[in-house]
Amino acid sequence: QKEVEQDPGPLSVPEGAIVSLNCTYSNSAFQYFMWYRQYSRKGPELLMYTYSSGNKEDGRFTAQVDKSSKYISLFIRDSQPSDSATYLCASKEPSGNQFYFGTGTSLTVIP
Amino acid sequence: GAGVSQTPSNKVTEKGKYVELRCDPISGHTALYWYRQSLGQGPEFLIYFQGTGAADDSGLPNDRFFAVRPEGSVSTLKIQRTERGDSAVYLCASSLGLVNTEAFFGQGTRLTVV
């Protein structure tokens, strides 16, 4: 079992829709949770960074962590065609040396 | 520049050749990571540096892979006797430190072994 599991999609939504992207993880020691956006043939771009459980909002993006169920979510409101990309979730232990990534979910927002 | 810089952006090499991939982290970032990403997959950990030392090289697949960071800034990932299975995007990331800091990635080096 991978440390972080993510449905690869693909996910296709109309412009303006609310998008929900999800990951699960197995290591209860994970405390740091990240969402990256990756455009085709580009490096991952950090979108959201959260510590422990709770919600964090940044513009149209909301990251949510539920440590009791080991569930990580990213919500995108009023989705735009420019949001079309692969979204990667990642997790890390406080003293760990590496980030563990999901496989990424491919999102297409249709104009 | 302000971000993580990786060179070259693309590298095509023949099977059996030696390659070097370079990473220039964000100024002041002491932590540096190398990851490898295959098509349709998430990045997989290779090695982590804190300063000049390789604090964790548990992700290096075999002894053909080696990385250095002699002055605690620029890092070079070295691959000997390349194989077709080494073809992937090699990503470098840096962060201020190990704990409680975000990691920022470069654009990656796309390595193709023919």
Which residue stretches of B1-114 are H helix? Answer: none
**Mean pLDDT of all residues belonging to chain A:** 95
Our CA-based measurement puts residue B19 at a distance from the nearest CA of chain A, in whole angstroms, of 20
CATH of the domain at B33: 2.60.40.10
Residues A30 and A98: their CA atoms lie apart, in Å, by 11
In a domain, A83, yes or no: yes
Number of helices followed by number of strands (H, E) in chain A: 0, 11
Pairing of strands B75-79, B19-24: antiparallel
In a domain, B103, yes or no: no
Give the model's confidence band at A53: pLDDT under 50 very low, under 70 low, under 90 confident, else very high: confident
pLDDT at B100 over 80: no
Q: Is A95 on the interface with B (CB under 8 A)?
A: yes
Q: Is B39 on the interface with A (CB under 8 A)?
A: no
pLDDT in tens, B2-57: 899 999 999 999 999 999 999 999 999 999 999 999 999 999 999 999 989 888 99
Please enumerate, as own/partner, the contacts of A64-67 that have beta carbons within 8 Å and a separation of 24 or more. Answer: A65/A33, A67/A28
> Whole domain around residue B81: which residue ranges?
5-97
Contact (Cβ atoms closer than 8 angstroms) between residue B4 and residue B69 = no
The three-class DSSP label of residue B85 is helix
CATH of the domain at A40: 2.60.40.10
* The predicted structure's pLDDT at residue A8: 86
The length of chain B in residues reads 114
Answer yes or no: do B44 and A102 touch at CB < 8 A: no
Answer yes or no: do A43 and B99 touch at CB < 8 A: no
- Strand partners of residue B57: none
Structural domains counted in chain A:
1
> Whole domain around residue A23: which residue ranges?
4-102
Q: Is B42 on the interface with A (CB under 8 A)?
A: yes
